[in-house]
A = this chain, B = another copy of it.
Amino acid sequence: MAAKLARKPRSGAQNPASWQAQKSASTRNQIVEAAIKAFVSMGYANTTTTHIAEEAGLSRGAMLHHFPSKMDIVKAAVEYLHAKRLAAFQRSITELPPEADRVKMAVEAYWQHVQHPMFVAFFELSVAARTDDDLKAILRPAQKEFAAAWYKMAQDLFPEWDGKQEAFDLALDLSEYIMEGIAVSYMTHHSPKRVDRLLEYLEKCLRELLNE
């Protein structure tokens, strides 16, 4: 991510104003990524601005210049996560060959997704938001938007379910809750149960729902 473009005046090759803006944006990105990393590694509640600054390789004062308060960092992190999650999903789906076993692929893609650190970060924020109204106000819109985009993506991926709204919704809910339930269980209790068998079973259910 934007590898260190510190001090490179470069005799006039660059647009003057945009160079600083670019560096600033790069720094902001570093900060946001450091924050997300901290959420994953030490939990949202234990993440201090000092930690984030250290992780980002900045001084606290420098960071406070880019983000006046902690909540500003969180807000940026939420937007960043939101964009990245959506993009990752889109990618893993649009890359599928049209003749692929889309049920299997979709299940695998989702499974990969909920195992990704970004999902852990979002989960940390979600849990914290339950008892933090400020955070909730930031997170809710992003969640809603994500859910809507996800739904639309699923519709595009499985156009043949177009006339079966009920079965489609059920299949989506089923997938979502099973996946997230396992993922959460993995994160917290860390009980690696018979996941493969369960995912296979989910696939079977989805196919049945499709063919009914």
Give me the interface of A with B, judged by CB distance under 8 Å: 41-46, 123-124, 126-132, 143, 147, 166, 169-170, 173-174, 176-182, 184-185, 187-189, 191, 193-194, 197-198, 201, 205
- A131 and B46 contact, Cβ closer than 8 Å, known pairs A147-B191, A189-B143, A198-B174: yes
Decide: A178 and B184 in contact? CB cutoff 8 A.
Answer: no
- A170 and B197 contact, Cβ closer than 8 Å, known pairs A46-B131, A177-B178, A178-B178: yes
Shortest Cβ distance from A187 into B: residue: B130
Shortest Cβ-Cβ A-B pairs, 10 listed: A181-B181, A45-B45, A177-B181, A43-B131, A126-B188, A180-B181, A127-B127, A42-B131, A177-B182, A177-B178
SS of A interface (majority) = helix
So how many copies of this chain end up in the complex? 2
Decide: B43 and A130 in contact? CB cutoff 8 A.
Answer: yes
| Shortest beta-carbon distance from A193 to chain B in Å | 5
Q: A46-B132, A147-B191 are in contact. List 16 more A-B contacts (CB 8 A).
A: A43-B45, A43-B127, A45-B46, A45-B128, A46-B131, A169-B193, A170-B197, A170-B198, A170-B201, A174-B198, A177-B177, A177-B178, A177-B198, A180-B181, A180-B184, A184-B184
Shortest Cβ distance from A38 into B: residue: B131
A182 to B174 alpha-carbon distance, docked (Å): 9
- List B contacts of A189 (CB < 8 A): 126, 143, 147
Decide: B169 and A128 in contact? CB cutoff 8 A.
Answer: no
A143 to B187 alpha-carbon distance, docked (Å): 13
| Contact pick for A180, options B43, B130, B131, B185, CB 8 Å | B185
